Amino acid sequence: MMHQILPILQYNIINMKHHILLLLLCTTAAVSHAYQFENVTAPPYPVITPKPKSITFDKDTLTIDPCSLQVSVTLPKKLTESVSQFISNSINTFVKVDLFPTQTCNPSPTNLTTLSITLTGETQPNDNVLPPVLQDTDESYTLTIDSVKGAVISAPQFSGVMRALGTFSQVVTGNGQGVEGKAGGSLYEVRHTPIVVTDAPRYKYRGIMLDTSRRFYSVDTITKLLDSMAVAKFNVLHWHIVDDQSFPLELKTSFPSVTFNGAWTQEQVYSQKQIWGIVGHALRLAIRIVPEFDNPGHTRAVGLDPYFREIVRCFNDVDGYTVPGAYRIEGVPHTSTLDPSYEKTYELLSGVFQEMGTLFPDSLIHLGGDEVDTTCFDENPNLKTWMTQQNIANYSELVITHLAKARTLLPEGKRAIYWSDEGSFYQRYRDGDVLMYWGSSANMKNLTELYPKLSYILAPVDYYYLDCSFGNEYGGKSWCDPMKTWWRIYSFEPSDFLPETDERVLGTEVPVWSELMNEEALFQKIWPRAAAMADKMWGPKAAVDLVGLVQRQVSFGEHLNARGIPVTHISGRWCEVIADHCFAEHIPQSIMASQ
């Protein structure tokens, strides 16, 4: 028996020695080699999204204790008390909540102890936080950071102050739990100092459109979207609040029954109190909110109210609007159209516009105006007789007449925006109106020929639509494939299609249509792709620095992740960390070919 056991023991001992030897060899190898990214250093310069117009920097590192940081705010005396108080509160809230989310005090000595903010006020309105007119907005600022004067911000308007704070938030590193792994601290760092930034955007309008009719998003989600937009220096949220699918806008003084019948559920309504809160949150970040009531098309939800059912054409026509075949499915409605021959149509528009005017202080209001299926008008057998009496020759003229009348119902001081594409080039507008062009970039040049006295916001479907390539509602392909990648979005340059110095081009916008974007997926489908547009439209036109762009996209994503906002990766882990290895030489042909 013993003779049988000994060989087994000897075998186990030999095996054990073999495993110990392998362990020692592996340990030695681990000691002599670093992990892949252990010795990879951060870029040797401040990574800021969008890239500033001008920046200088050096090699020093300063530390900040948020508890001992002295913040001073200097405002013009000409401001009304309410505006002055709002601006002061907005700045202090941003510093405490966004700039330094962890406020644990640290007794260690620091060398960046002051943050001085001056709103010089040369062009700041006395009685408004933002200028009522978009073109009067000045987002320029200067930011200096050094060990002598501390951090110093100067800007002529509140918008510039908030853009400067957005830049400052991106150069502040650390999470308040200790710098470079030192336990027990709450210090933050600013590297590459002294830093001097002189900055201003190229375009006045840099927007994101959010569709809350096809899918309802919570107030918390919308405020998080605003927070993330501010990081990328977006300045407009275009709120596509209602459409065919639902009417979640609370109407109180005009037609509450439209909301009651048109919303998905009682809970999926934006109360006016909630809207004021969202508008106020946006204003604190110097972001405008532009509401939209698309008409005369895209109004089926209005017809769910029995009182307005008679003015909605193609209410039950599932193929009422000509769309790609993959979108058509029996029993599912598409789009409907208001009947311009009914005075009740304009009672509705007047009521909605007036309530929107009280809820949204911005001078811009979006009236839609596109994708009107004029064959829907055939449902009304009396319409052509009425048109003859009104000297309206055809359905195209009927749409033009409707839009002109709807325009007169806007509250005083409001400026109209309309959707525009190849299918609406027959329409006419009032001088000074704004067209939001969503058609193909190839036809963009027609804008200046057809509408020389209007302004333009560019949202070309072949560059900017974020919902493309995720399929459609019915399991088919999306109508606007392929996906608009971060590079595709960045590659759009307005001056390739319209004159570079054309002041009629206000800016650009990325639309977020929500059929397939629930709250969990929303941010990952927006970010960081949309930031590529913000980056391009902020900075001056320049040769592409792809390595820098990738580093900014990655850094931006990490910044949002630190705030609890999920984003999508733009590349493999290796290329994100060592961007110069993947993108240093030139724009890879594989990227170009995929577009």
Give the HSE-up count for residue 549: Cα atoms under 13 Å, Cβ half-sphere: 27
Residue of 402, 412, 324 lying closest to 365 (CA atoms)? 412
Q: Write out the two tokens for 207.
A: 């927007």
Q: How far is CA 481 from the centre of its chain?
A: 21
Q: Write out the two tokens for 294.
A: 């698309």
Which residues touch 587 (CB under 8 Å, ≥6 apart)?
487, 544, 546
Helices (H), ranges, 410-545: 446-450, 461-464, 486-491, 519-526, 529-538
Give the HSE-up count for residue 57: Cα atoms under 13 Å, Cβ half-sphere: 20
Residue of 529, 462, 449 lying closest to 228 (CA atoms)? 529
Measured distance CA(151)–CA(63) in Å, rounded: 12
Q: Write out the two tokens for 595.
A: 């577009």
Provide the 10 A C-beta neighbour count for residue 450: 15
Measured distance CA(491)–CA(534) in Å, rounded: 12
Q: How far is CA 459 from the centre of its chain?
A: 13
Q: Helix, strand, or coil here: 370?
A: coil
Q: Write out the two tokens for 108.
A: 């260690």
Longest dimension (CA), the chain: 117
**105 φ, ψ to 5°?**
-75, 150
Q: Is 371 a catalytic residue?
A: yes
Run of H or E including 30? helix 2-32
- The active-site residue out of 371, 493, 576, 585 is 371
Residue of 358, 231, 337 lying closest to 294 (CA atoms)? 337
Residue of 412, 454, 414, 453 lying closest to 437 (CA atoms)? 454
Is 294:419 a contact under the CB 8 Å cutoff? yes
Is 552:535 a contact under the CB 8 Å cutoff? yes
Supply the DSSP symbol for 334: -
Among all residues, which ones are annotated catalytic? 371
